Amino acid sequence: MVEKSGHLCASVIRQGISEHLKGRNPEISYTQSAYIVELRKIFENELGSLKSVIYIYDRVVMFSIPIKNHIVVFSTDRNINIDDVFQQAQSFINNTETELDIALDVKNIAQDKKESVRNLYDSGISEEMIAEQLDLNLATVKSLIKIITTK
């Protein structure tokens, strides 16, 4: 699960599977996927809502599926039926979307980030800028600010 900023907020790697991307390359790939999915908004009026972005490489197929303010990103072997895998993923997302707690739980945010939110907010920085600056989900920043201002 990737935030729209490109920050990886949850992941699972199947055991026994070797990763093709090493070092910082997975992070760059997530950021690229997030950027491309975010650009979809430019064309929504003319084309409708984006359902997915699918990258087909020689070795793997990578899926990026927007869901609320996040993107579900996963890859598969190359020898699959893309339509079947997409339909299965979309069905799973649709059936579990109400159960998914997409916004990061504020208790999992590091104390130094919480302090940074407080300092930036107290300095008059907008919530959107704080989220961007600290690579946090906007809903998470709003939740933290609500907690900060009620103490």
pTM above 0.75, yes or no: no
Q: Which residue has the higher pLDDT, 88 or 8?
A: 88
- How far apart are the C-alpha atoms of 141 and 9, rounded to whole Å? 14
| Triad 147, 148, 151: Cα angle to 5° | 85
Q: What percent of the chain has pLDDT over 90?
A: 36
Distances (CA, A) of 4 to 68, 102, 137: 9, 12, 8
> Which H helix or E strand runs over 63?
strand 60-67
Return the domain boundaries, the chain.
2-96, 106-150
pLDDT of residue 107 exceeding 90:
no
pLDDT in tens, 19-77: 888 888 888 888 899 899 988 888 989 999 899 999 999 999 999 998 877 888 999 98
Q: What is the CATH number of domain 2-96?
A: 3.30.450.30
- How far apart are the C-alpha atoms of 148 and 120, rounded to whole Å? 12
CB 34, CB 2: distance < 8 Å: yes
- How far apart are the C-alpha atoms of 37 and 49, rounded to whole Å? 11
- How far apart are the C-alpha atoms of 127 and 143, rounded to whole Å? 10
Tokens of 96: 């579990």
Radius of gyration of the chain (CA): 17
Scan for tokens 């709003």, then name that residue. 142
